[in-house]
Amino acid sequence: MEPSGTPVSTTTLARLRLAAQALLPAASVGSALGPAADPAAAVRRMTALQSQDLQSGLLAVGLRTEGGTASAVTAALAAGAVVRTWTMRGTLFTVAAEDARTFVELASERVMRSAAARHRGLGIGEEDVASARKAAEDRLAGGAGMTRAELFEAFEAAGQPTRAQRGIHLLSILSHRLVLVQGPLRGRQQEFRLADEWLPARSGLGGDDALEHLAGRYIASHGPVDERDFAWWIGQPLGRVRGPFGAAASQAARVSWQGRALWCVPELAALADSRAGARAVVAVPGFDELAIGYPDRSVSVPPAYLQRLIPGSNGVFKAMVTLGGRAVGTWTKGGRPPAPRVEPELFEELSASASAGVARACRRIEAYWTG
């Protein structure tokens, strides 16, 4: 794939990705790129949102929904429209219920192979998995739901120890085998349900067809991107995704950045010569797709701020305040219910208009919690 198309700077690429991720108002980028009408539509549009931290993942959905609130996202989980489960890269993602089987089936073999030595070290064999599976199916049959702690109790009663992360690995194995999926919230905990009772029937997509389908959606929701970005995000070798990505990219628009050809939807490419999003201040949760949805984080996180956003490069992504899609600070949750507050910590002095934007971005998250 030869690098061609409209050349874009890093700052332009950052704001284009901000728009692609439905984090800008429709009035500035058009209805096709604006926030979704409801949480389920927001998740479908984003393809998948990393949700290893549950509350951060739910907030990520709410911020991509017009007027999105915690109660609305919770309702989408309760209705079964969206679920949370282990998918690519061995990480938990929030996905549309109809996409869960496709993601898990693509990822399970590689993830389980990479975890095999750990499973052996924990003494998890096929007989142990079968025992845990029976315990889960017996307790969850008929539409019942159980929290992680409750399932751990069921595993222990079946003779399966859960200490030293053995329990969480049993849950992961059963989820990768599409026995379990995480659905409704019970308080701040999520219930596990039987996948065959909670998820729609199989989509019929698999192999290259599934990869091409997901590549097209990744281009639309995360672009501008290339095949290397997609290979990392989907957790597959570059050679495995090259053909499917190329087929999906044939329907996309192209820009170039630092000698790389990148693809996005035409509506996004049309914004390259505009200033849309250049002054937009958006606060996003930790582990947000804006930063973590790409292998190269330097677009959304300026190198000078990398250690402040990802201390020690240890995989923990702090919540960000961004200007034009580039991090300018962090934020934390303060105050107490029913009036929690967003408390920003900026890395640089901002203009008066940008400072006002920070205040609006903080209020947006507070509205999510209290709406």
Q: Please write the tens of the pLDDT for every residue from 222-239.
A: 999 999 999 999 999 999
pTM passes above 0.85: yes
Same domain, 115 and 180: yes
Same domain, 139 and 21: no
Is residue 118 in a domain?
yes
Given this model, what pLDDT does residue 339 score?
Answer: 83
Is residue 275 in a domain?
no
Same domain, 189 and 43: yes
**Tokens representing 285?**
């949760």
Sheet holding 320-323, edge to edge: 281-284, 320-323, 326-336, 339-346
**Tokens representing 174?**
């059963």
Is residue 10 in a domain?
yes
Same domain, 285 and 213: no
pLDDT of 273-311, one tens digit each? 999 999 999 999 999 999 999 999 999 999 999 999 998
Given this model, what pLDDT does residue 3 score?
Answer: 54
Same domain, 188 and 209: no
Residues sharing a CB contact under 8 Å with residue 26, sequence separation 6 or more, in sequence order: 33, 34, 35, 66
Same domain, 121 and 262: no
Is there a contact between 107 and 241 (Cβ–Cβ < 8 Å)? no
Last residue of a domain, one of 198, 224, 241: 198
Is residue 46 in a domain?
yes
Is residue 274 in a domain?
no
Is residue 11 in a domain?
yes
DSSP H helices, the chain, are 10-20, 26-29, 39-46, 54-63, 70-78, 100-114, 116-121, 126-140, 148-157, 166-176, 195-198, 207-222, 227-234, 238-249, 266-269, 289-292, 306-309, 352-370
Is residue 334 in a domain?
yes
Nearest CA among 317, 321, 322 for reference residue 343? 321
Same domain, 210 and 190: no
Scored b (16 or more CB within 10 A) or e, 275-285 reads ebbeebbbbbb
- Give dist(CA 277, CA 168) in Å, integer: 41
Last residue of a domain, one of 172, 198, 224: 198
> Vertex 80, ends 92 and 179: CA angle to 5°?
55
Same domain, 225 and 134: no
Q: Phi first, then psi: what are they for 281, rounded to 5°?
A: -105, 125
Mean pLDDT of 213-226: 98
Cα–Cα distances in angstroms (integers) from residue 322 to residues 143, 246, 325, 328, in the given order: 42, 31, 5, 5
Average pLDDT taken over every residue of the chain: 96
Same domain, 330 and 215: no
Mean pLDDT of 337-349: 93
Same domain, 247 and 340: no
pLDDT of 249 strictly over 50: yes
Name beta bridge partners: 85: 93
pLDDT of 7-33, one tens digit each? 999 999 999 999 999 999 999 999 999
pLDDT of 314 strictly over 80: no
Mean pLDDT of 155-172: 98
Residue whose entry in the numeric block shows the structure tokens 């006002």: 356
Q: Give the CA radius of gyration of the chain.
A: 21
User: In the chain, how many domains are there?
Assistant: 3
pLDDT of 4 strictly over 80: no
Is residue 34 in a domain?
no
Same domain, 232 and 320: no
pLDDT of 289-299, one tens digit each? 999 999 999 99
Given this model, what pLDDT does residue 1 score?
Answer: 44
Last residue of a domain, one of 163, 198, 233: 198
Is there a contact between 51 and 57 (Cβ–Cβ < 8 Å)? yes
Mean pLDDT of 53-79: 98
Same domain, 113 and 228: no
Q: Which domain holds residue 12?
A: 6-25+204-269
